[in-house]
C-alpha cells in the first residue's frame, strides 16, 4: 500500500530559494568565469541564446514534469516518466534523473569542502606570503595531499570533507520543509548579500599598472573578435554552462517540483528561480572573478589562468589578489564562504531524488533511506578523495556531469514535447499559473529545444566520445582508477534498474492508478 508523502514546501519564498539554491552552485562563480574569459564578450552571445532556447524552456518543462508526477505520488523521474509515456522503457529512461545527481554529488561534496577549508585557511592567513599563481597551485596540491604518494590524503582537508558531508546528511535527513527549505531561506539571502559586498569591493578597486576595473568588465561584455562565433567550441561551452548553471537535465528540479500542489504556480516561480540564478552568475560571478583577474594580471594572463582549469581563477588567482588588497583576509574569507554556501545549497539537492526514490517507489522510511544513502555515498566518496590525482573526479564528471546530463535533457525534451505532447504539456504548465508564457515558447519547446538537444548529443558523441571511452591521452597508470570510476557509476545504475523492476513488480496497482493523489488547490 502506497503511503502518501506528508512533507512539502511551507512557503513560496522557501520554494524559490531552494530552487535557486539548487541551481546556484560552484559553477556560477568558478566554472562561468573560466568558460567566459577565454572567449571574451563573444561568449555571451551563444550563452544568452542558449538561455532562451534551451535553459528556460527546459526549466519550465522540468517544473511541469515534476508537479505532474508528484500529483500521482512520484517524487523521482522513473515514476514521472511512467506517467508521461506508458511504455515499458519510459521508467528505465527516468533512471537518469536519479543516477546523475547522485553521482555528481559523490564528488561535488568533496569539492564543496575545499571552499570551507580555504575559508578557514584564509581567515587564519595560513597561505599568506604565497604571492603567485604557481605558489598557490602548490598550496592547492598540498591541501589535497597530491604530493606523489599512493594516496592523495591530507588530514586537514579530510576533516573539512567529513564536516561538509555530515552537514549535508543532517540537512536532508530533516526533509523538505524542516531541512532543505530552512537552509535555503537563510543561506541564499546570505550568499547574495556576500556576493554584492564582494562585487562592490571589486568595482571600487583602484587602477593597477594603468589597468582599470572597466577593462575587466569589458572582457565579459565587449566583443573584440566576432569570428569566435564561427567556432563550435564557444557554442558547446555556452550550452554546457547553461545546463550547469540552471541544473537542468539532472533530475533535481523534478523532485523539488513534485512537492507542489496541483494548482501551485510553476511558470512565475520557475522564472523567478531562473532569474535569481542568472543574477548570481552573470552579475555577481561576472563582476567578482573576471574583472579582478584582468585588473591585477592583465587580459592575457587572466585568459591563461582561466584556461588552466575550473579552479584556477577561484583558488589560485583570487587568493593572490586578496593578499594585495586592504582587508584582504576578510574579503578572501567571504569569497570562500560564498563558494561554500553556493555548494551547500546545490549538494543538499543532489541526493534528494535518490532518497525520494527509495521512499516513494521502494517504500522505505525516511530514516532508513537516509542511512542507506549516507553509507553508500560515503563509501563511494573515498576513492574520489584518495585517488583524485588519478583523475577519478574528471572521469565521473565527464560521464554524468557532461555527456549524461546532455543525453538526459535530450530524452526528456523528446518525451515531454513529442510523446506526452506539447498541447497537454502547455495546458499542464499553465494550470494555476500566475504568468502566461508567451506563445513563442510553445513552438520553441515543441521544435527548437528538442531538435537542438538531439543535435547537441550527436555532436558530443562525434567530438571525442570514442576517444574518451578508450581513454586516449590518459596516462596508463591512471587507467585502473578510471575503470573504478566507471564501475561505481555502473553499480549505481544497476541498483536503480533493480529498484525500478522491484517497485513495479511489488505494487503494480499504484503505478496504474489513473486519478492523481493530490487534488487540493494551492493555499
pLDDT at 1 over 70: no
pLDDT at position 120, please?
96
pLDDT at 330 over 70: yes
pLDDT at position 514, please?
58
- The mean pLDDT of 122-148, rounded to a whole number, is 90
- The mean pLDDT of 491-518, rounded to a whole number, is 82
Over residues 97-109, the pLDDT tens digits come to: 999 999 999 999 9
pLDDT bucket at 519, cuts 50 / 70 / 90 = very low
Over residues 179-188, the pLDDT tens digits come to: 889 999 999 9
Cell (9 digits) for 74: 512520484
Over residues 475-490, the pLDDT tens digits come to: 998 999 999 999 999 9
pLDDT bucket at 5, cuts 50 / 70 / 90 = low
pLDDT at position 521, please?
42
pLDDT at 415 over 90: yes
Q: Is 243 exposed, middle or buried (0-12, 13-18, 19+ CB in 10 A)?
A: buried
pLDDT bucket at 55, cuts 50 / 70 / 90 = very high
How much of the chain exceeds pLDDT 90, in percent?
Answer: 51
Cα dihedral sign, 470-472-477-482: negative
Contact 257, 62 (CB under 8 A): yes
User: How many Å apart are CA 221 and CA 144, to the nearest integer?
Assistant: 35
Contact 74, 258 (CB under 8 A): yes
pLDDT bucket at 96, cuts 50 / 70 / 90 = very high
pLDDT at 13 over 70: yes
pLDDT at position 226, please?
86
Q: 73's torsion region: left (phi>0), alpha (psi -120 to 50) or beta? A: left
Q: Is 135 exposed, middle or buried (0-12, 13-18, 19+ CB in 10 A)?
A: middle
pLDDT at 134 over 60: yes
pLDDT at 336 over 60: yes
pLDDT at 517 over 60: no
pLDDT bucket at 515, cuts 50 / 70 / 90 = low
Please indicate whether residue 159 or residue 286 has the higher confidence score (pLDDT). 159
pLDDT at position 516, please?
62
pLDDT at 30 over 50: yes
| Residue 211, helix vs strand vs coil | strand
Over residues 363-388, the pLDDT tens digits come to: 888 899 999 999 999 999 999 999 98
φ and ψ at residue 211, rounded to 5 degrees: -90, 140
Closest CA to 289 of 160, 208, 203: 203
Task: Provide the mean pLDDT of the chain.
Answer: 89
pLDDT at 523 over 80: no
pLDDT at 453 over 60: yes
pLDDT at 418 over 90: yes
Contacts of 363 (CB under 8 A, 6+ apart): 2, 3, 503, 507
Cell (9 digits) for 139: 598550496
Amino acid at each position: 500500500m502506497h503511503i502518501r508523502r506528508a512533507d512539502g514546501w511551507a512557503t513560496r519564498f522557501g520554494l524559490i530559494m531552494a530552487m535557486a539554491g539548487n541551481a546556484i552552485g560552484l559553477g556560477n562563480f568558478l566554472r562561468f568565469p573560466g568558460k567566459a574569459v577565454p572567449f571574451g564578450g563573444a561568449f555571451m552571445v551563444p550563452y544568452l541564446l542558449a538561455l532562451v532556447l534551451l535553459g528556460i524552456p527546459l526549466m519550465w518543462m522540468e517544473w511541469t514534469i515534476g508537479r505532474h508526477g508528484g500529483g500521482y505520488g512520484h517524487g523521482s523521474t522513473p515514476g514521472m516518466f511512467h506517467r508521461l509515456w506508458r511504455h515499458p522503457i519510459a521508467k528505465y529512461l527516468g533512471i537518469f534523473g536519479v543516477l546523475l545527481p547522485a553521482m555528481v554529488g559523490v564528488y561535488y561534496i568533496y569539492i564543496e569542502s575545499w571552499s570551507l577549508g580555504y575559508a578557514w585557511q584564509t581567515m587564519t592567513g595560513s597561505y599568506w606570503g604565497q604571492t603567485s599563481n604557481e605558489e598557490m597551485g602548490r598550496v592547492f596540491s598540498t591541501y589535497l595531499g597530491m604530493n606523489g604518494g599512493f594516496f592523495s590524503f591530507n588530514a586537514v582537508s579530510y576533516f573539512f570533507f567529513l564536516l561538509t558531508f555530515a552537514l549535508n546528511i543532517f540537512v536532508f535527513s530533516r526533509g523538505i520543509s524542516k531541512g532543505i527549505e530552512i537552509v535555503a531561506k537563510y543561506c541564499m539571502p546570505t550568499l547574495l548579500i556576500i556576493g554584492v559586498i564582494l562585487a562592490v569591493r571589486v568595482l571600487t578597486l583602484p587602477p593597477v599598472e594603468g589597468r582599470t576595473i572597466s577593462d575587466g568588465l569589458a572582457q565579459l561584455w565587449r566583443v573584440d573578435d566576432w569570428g569566435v562565433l564561427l567556432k563550435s567550441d564557444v557554442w558547446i561551452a555556452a550550452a554546457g554552462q547553461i545546463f550547469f548553471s540552471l541544473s537542468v537535465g539532472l533530475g533535481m528540479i523534478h523532485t523539488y517540483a513534485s512537492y507542489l500542489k496541483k494548482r501551485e504556480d510553476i511558470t512565475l516561480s520557475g522564472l523567478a528561480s531562473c532569474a535569481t540564478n542568472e543574477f548570481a552568475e552573470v552579475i555577481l560571478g561576472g563582476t567578482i572573478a573576471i574583472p579582478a583577474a584582468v585588473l591585477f594580471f592583465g587580459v592575457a594572463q587572466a585568459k591563461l589562468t582561466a584556461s588552466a582549469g575550473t579552479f584556477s581563477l577561484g583558488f589560485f588567482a583570487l587568493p593572490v589578489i586578496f593578499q594585495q588588497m586592504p582587508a584582504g583576509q576578510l574579503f578572501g574569507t567571504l569569497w570562500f564562504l560564498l563558494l561554500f554556501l553556493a555548494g551547500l545549497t546545490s549538494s543538499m539537492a543532489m541526493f534528494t531524488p535518490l532518497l525520494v526514490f527509495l521512499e516513494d517507489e521502494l517504500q522505505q522510511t525516511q530514516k532508513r533511506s537516509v542511512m542507506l544513502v549516507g553509507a553508500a555515498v560515503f563509501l563511494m566518496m573515498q576513492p574520489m578523495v584518495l585517488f583524485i590525482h588519478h583523475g577519478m573526479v574528471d572521469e565521473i564528471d565527464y560521464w554524468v556531469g557532461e555527456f549524461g546530463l546532455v543525453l538526459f535533457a535530450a530524452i526528456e525534451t523528446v518525451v515531454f514535447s513529442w510523446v506526452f505532447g506539447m498541447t497537454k504539456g502547455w495546458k499542464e504548465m499553465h494550470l494555476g499559473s500566475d504568468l502566461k508564457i508567451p506563445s513563442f515558447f510553445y513552438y520553441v519547446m515543441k521544435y527548437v529545444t528538442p531538435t537542438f538537444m538531439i543535435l547537441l548529443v550527436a555532436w558530443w558523441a562525434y567530438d571525442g566520445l570514442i576517444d574518451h571511452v578508450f581513454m586516449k591521452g590518459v596516462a596508463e597508470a591512471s587507467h585502473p582508477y578510471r575503470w573504478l570510476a566507471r564501475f561505481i557509476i555502473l553499480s549505481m545504475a544497476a541498483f536503480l534498474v533493480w529498484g525500478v523492476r522491484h517497485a513495479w513488480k511489488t505494487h503494480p496497482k499504484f503505478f496504474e492508478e489513473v486519478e492523481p493523489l493530490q487534488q487540493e488547490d494551492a493555499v
